[in-house]
Amino acid sequence: MVSFAAGLLNATVQAATVLLLAGLGELISERAGVLNLGVEGMMLVGALGGFVVTAVTGNYWLGFGVGIACGMALAAVHAFLCISLKSNQVISGVMLTLLGTGLTTFFGSGWVQESITGFPQMTFPIVGRYLVHLPLVGEAFFRSTATDYLALLAVPVVWFFLYRSNLGLEIIAVGEDPEMADTMGVPVFKFRYLAVIIGGGFAGAAGAHLSLAFSQLWVPGMTVGRGWIAVALVVFAQWRPSRMLVGAYLFGLLDALQLRSQSLSLALDPNAPLAGVLNPLVNTLMNPQIMSTYPYLTTIAVLSYAVIRTESVRLAVPSALLQSYNREMD
């Protein structure tokens, strides 16, 4: 059981990294008042771009950088449509998800059979070689890929950026009251562009982590809805980076449990009381196909809770989220 728990925790860390990176990027974008439903497509272009460059050059850091750049490029399209052309943010985001899915399926078809040597497992710098032997948590937190460590480091960095730097506070002001921010001299359009593109870079990094560290291969549609989960995570986290960390690990646990459940048997002894009733129920709940729906069912529950909660108590939703800003009308 201990080895199962250690393996489950290790898989949770790896699965959570994807959601954490994508979720932080979405949080920054929404803090500036721009909803980005194109995260899924940006993750896919980041995954394919990073994979192809790594396969060609053998340099996974270069591939990771290209993955980030691919996400930023697609996010720039979203920014142009929503900020400059004032298009509907929901429609633009969904369109970019479909565009990213279609482009990567077409251009990535020739790379499906390829394999790469991506990010290796490494011990945490300096203290890792001592702490990696800790029972249960040692391997999970102190022997991971560099991208796992970067995702954890990104949480306090994003928090400091948003709440302790002038630029971050001005981005929040733009998402809360763009008219007032503009009056105070904050360049609303420029900062919204910046936030959306930074968010796209995080989404690209999440996709690159998926293809270069998590699986080390390319499969069309390999994000399997993680981009949508990242959007729901922002609601779960109430637009706060620290809560994003908790949410990412919760959803990562559900994802990891699905992969590891086949080696776990929770069936009762056939002679135990109620075994005839409980065993079929446990077998159904632990079925891999059923378990694969848990993250998405949780996503629906989180979004439903947000809708209900919004009607009674105001969440920390940025006041100007989804609102285009037209300076000429003021």
| Residue-wise pLDDT tens digits, 253-267 | 887 777 666 666 666
**C-alpha angle 287/291/296, rounded to 5°?**
155
Average the pLDDT over 78-102 and give the result. Answer: 93
Work out the percent of the chain whose per-residue pLDDT is above 90: 49
pLDDT at residue 328, rounded to an integer: 62
Global pTM?
Answer: 0.87
The CATH number linked to 96 is 1.10.3470
Mean pLDDT of the chain: 86
pLDDT digits over 282-319, tens only?
777 777 777 777 777 777 777 677 666 655 555 678 88
Q: Is residue 182 part of a domain?
A: yes
**What is the arithmetic mean of pLDDT over 195-223?**
94
In a domain, 318, yes or no: no
Residue 265 lies in a domain: yes
Q: Note whether residue 314 is domain-resident.
A: no
Taking residues 140-164, what's their average pLDDT? 92
In a domain, 328, yes or no: no
User: Which of 39-48, 92-101, 132-141, 225-234 shows the lowest mean pLDDT across its residues?
Assistant: 132-141
3 versus 99: which is more confidently predicted? 99
Task: Name every residue whose Cβ is closer than 8 Å to that of residue 201 and which is 6 or more positions away in sequence.
Answer: 25, 68, 69, 71, 72, 75
- Distance CA(38)–CA(222), nearest Å, equals 15
Q: Is residue 71 part of a domain?
A: yes
* Residue 115 structural domain: 1-309
321 inside domain? no
How many domains are there within the chain? 1
* Of 7 and 65, the one with more pLDDT: 65
Contact between 54 and 116 under an 8 Å Cβ cutoff? The reply is yes
> What is the DSSP-derived secondary structure letter of residue 267?
P
pLDDT value of position 318:
87
